[in-house]
Chains A and B, each alone.
Chain A
């Protein structure tokens, strides 16, 4: 505080004019003026703090509509509320898709086409459970077509359970199940599915199903669309973020499948992700308008570089490769790609259909189409008819081997039994002989008999030892052969699971 002495005339609030009064220092009730002024000052300060607090509060909690609505806009929006139910306004430039979608709350539409997929649903839901992308930002869309099993019922049950999950992070956004039968005659088993002759029409039907699903489920608020097959066995939980980070219009990982050891352990699965080659383009020119080139068949030698074959298990998972055709097992695409009209051609588009045609069409519209050769997900291994035959043979072989082993052990056992019999016989014989021998030299000294008895006992104990050790060895070999046979069966039936574990680690 300043000393009152100096500030006197000016600090106490007297008007300047009063300086010219004759007695400026006559008595004044000085205490009163500063008091009111101090009060005013205090009020102003309080006011400033209050407005500051309100403003700060407004900015910190902009969502609290009660405060916002005080200012003008409340009236407008209240008026519009009646109309709001039927009118929607969307700005599509807000949903273009960015590299860090989870931070901008970008919504993903996850599309899964299903047909006779009941056995795979459990696996799929375990994947749904594990996605790290915020679940409430993911809308699920399923197309159930021409299913003869209980796919639909199981799906509905599981989805309802998922949505009712206690963990608030589990339930997904909007869920739609679309039913549509296309009257497909094509069987879904592995043989007919992958036979060359059936490919073109099968691919066109698949494309149709995908288009129906997408056109029914895509909304103006989706930024991304993720296509996922139901029979993916192993995939990283972070796959959505991992693919999104690349910020490409269309992106696919590498798809392999685990195999039993006798088939080499693992194998490229999805051959639909490839780069165009001169040979294939020349081939395409020779085919008629409705022909569809399909990959992985000897009939069409295209010499294209396939994403699948370029995998290096220790390669950089972020490495990108430009591709022209894409496989449909796991596609992440910006929703704007689909909005602008790119779809899965159910006709021969540049001699390709379905996902490969999709890649071609996206390229045609100058979108970036990229594959990640060293980022791998694993498709379920379904043994083919040949594989099953081979496995049956192996099983028989194994059984025969087991049988042989059993016989062998039995034989050994028998031999041993006989041996132990012989030894006891020998023992008996021995004692008899000894008895005889005792009787003969009875007249000899007592000490001798004692000695003999001692030796006798010694012999007996050693033979007993021998017996027990022999039996122990026999037991060991038995268990060993058993565990061995168990190992064999493990190898056949549980190999994929083991591989899976391996993959998770890698």
Chain B
């Protein structure tokens, strides 16, 4: 176990090193801090002097070591646009993204488990086939498109007048197909509760929760089909196993077998795969936040690109890289702990 631990952690450090080299290369290749600092009137000799003073003429290795040393101490430079340390800017925007991710995860959890289990227990039922069909279609719909459709339906509202309005059934159909709209589709609203530090939460007010509905559903919609399929596949495999058949033969209640005995062993692979999906989730938050102008780190990153705010881009890369590496390592370790058959060399069988 110790060997496994050491191996995983050293791999995590190696990956973090590669990320920091990439980040440093971006910073070095794209930004000339001197251009941002001094005006046109500064002479070439003075520029050269400042360069020397700032260490920009040092060998690249020395510059990298300085960059990495600062990064370890939490100093990732000053954002051009905000004029503040980039880490502070990211920490200000992080709670919004976290709340969006938490909201979406709750939706995924509440829907994928019952639907996946149901589709596994009754694979031939019409409802299961319907769910599986919807999830195939769901995988083909990009997250931003779901978001746009949701905005059209529930924020702007749709008025249908396809059917003749002078007949009773026509009017009923029209009103049944029309939607009210009115849900907020922009930002987080202003009813935020201050929790601690930079965390302003939208969970504790009606306005905040209303603003969360559409973005969270959009973000959940893209991951939901994947989890439904995964839970269904794992559950079907578990249902074939000997201990489940034994429990059935013993005459236990089907509900007890399915939800207590079988589900427990289904959730393990689901949790580990889910952990790996965090990376995908971060990518999708960028898209969701762009559609809903949700003031999280994804939108901040995209704005940093349009503003060519290099220090902020680099800092985002480092922070997101760190989050990925930490979650992946933890997921690996948990998997190694609960499933001792994982080879210690870490090679996937």
User: Is this pair of chains taken from one and the same complex?
Assistant: no
